[in-house]
Structure 1
Amino acid sequence: MASNAEFDPVSPSGLKSILKKHGLYAKKSFGQNFLVDGNILDIIIENAGLEKDDNVIEVGPGLGALTLRILEEIPDGELLSIEKDRELCSILRQELSEFDNFSLVEADILEYKLEEELEDKGFKDLDYKLMANLPYNITSPLIRLFLERETRPEKMVLMVQREVAERIVAEPGGKDYGTLSIAVQYYARAEIQHYISPEVFVPRPRVESAIITLDLTDPHPERADNEDIFFKVVRAMFQQRRKIIRNSLSKAAQVDFPRDKVDEALKRAEIDPKIRGEKLSIQRVIKLSNELTKLL
């Protein structure tokens, strides 16, 4: 329950009332599109599988539609929300002041030094959940930030642009398969749970969205011997995705693996040097990077 009975950020009329009251509007520069459909909130909450004592980080709470639902589900847990917009932070602090398990940080999540905050709150590696309705322009860097950080969430439940969601879950051989697909699927089991129409947002975006879950407790079963080399291989494969793998690895900018080492690694990994990188599964990329690691 919000402290103000008139505070209703979920319905279109309630949202417009709040924005009008405070003289605010959705800022394009922040990629703000406010969700105004309780059924979609139900789907997000269901896929998070929240327990009453769960710890949660929410990125981009906006006016608190999802925030309120999370707080209802975790009375014995902690919710840390991170919001860049100063004006929205002011409203959230006012309307959610009754919740003693809610804290709010005004910051750009891509620049904020989060580790100290997590340590202070007792959030441990693979022992909290990340939930967000993400501005489309920060989706990929934010996912990578949380996949690669020292203290990772056990699960991410994210609302993202449909195109990005389909890139994340893409299989080898398709046009959507790329660096993001491999990076996410290496660290987590990724699943699209629901597609979302633009009509449930104010203002309406020009694209469809999707709810995607990333389970970091279920990463790819095979691991690279040297992850730095593995991700160099992945980046090289897709810098110029029309190139054959042999040329990609030996001519990619900032990689420049020696041609003789590339040829030998491909031979040992039993990979056709004329195949394009987009055809290779994660397992085969791991095998190739492991062979390169032995040779370099």
Structure 2
Amino acid sequence: MTDQIAKKYSFSLPQKLYPAKLLLTGEYSVLNGSSAVLIPLPIFGARWKKMDNLRSDWRDLLSGFLSYLRKDTSESPFLKMKSMEGAFEAGYFLDSNVPQGCGLGSSGVFCAAIYDAFGIKNQNETPMQVRERLRLMENFFHGKSSGLDPLVSYYNKAVHLRSEEINFFQTEEGGANNYIPNVWLFDSGKKRSTATLVNSFNKHLEDPDNRKCFFNEYMPIIEKVTHHYLKGEWEEWYSGIKEISRHQTKIFKPMIPDDIYELWIKGLQSESYYMKLCGAGGGGFFYLFSKEQEVYLPKFKGILITEYLSSLIAD
């Protein structure tokens, strides 16, 4: 029966991993024109699989997503809707271990896999064109998406966005100190809604003083830290992370849970580690950076990800 449906609707699903992503720099600022650096995180991801009886939550997600696509992409369709519906009818779904509401791009993985399997593509399409299509798809989940999360998952490459130009990159051996500080994902154990947090931040920027701090102080730091990262200037990069961490305690205080904020401030005061947002904040994962091999904190459930920062894919 499955083969008959696949033949009827003409679909063949890619057999590969769509990785999660890490936004190293650019939280919120990328939505306001700053540079951003994102890398794949293949310890989490999703693959197409088949199930005889799809779970009700998956069916509800698909129903809402398909309705959204029919409404918002009807004038310029870029997905094979019939093939997509046929695949879902045949019992195909995305088997994912990407934690939801944690800042690792679970919705981006979903959109990347959908576009890879059912996108109407041409040989000359550019990454910017792909990003725009993925952005429209991911708006279903977040209200306002940059399109970068699914772009990383779709190409499985590290991305540097600058002045609306997309570059795939690898780090360089540079600077006097090539030692990369350790980086962990700190699990707060809390869920959050990206759309709610983004809306709250947009209201925050309506205040003139908040806008001045964000655009005149914070965004230049993002540009500086991005530059050091791309050059492999790890000592300077680590110093810049400290600046980001300090500014985020002021600008993004509502996005930092109280217990995390306490640990965050202790790190800044002791200078033994620094924390920053991973994605929208509010819950999920937070970054923890340190030159130490181990960091001992109460209830610290960390995932060491340093190796993924230095093993990037060149275009």
TM-score of the aligned structures, taking structure 2 as reference length? 0.29
Task: Give the number of the structure whose alpha-carbon radius of gyration is greater.
Answer: 1
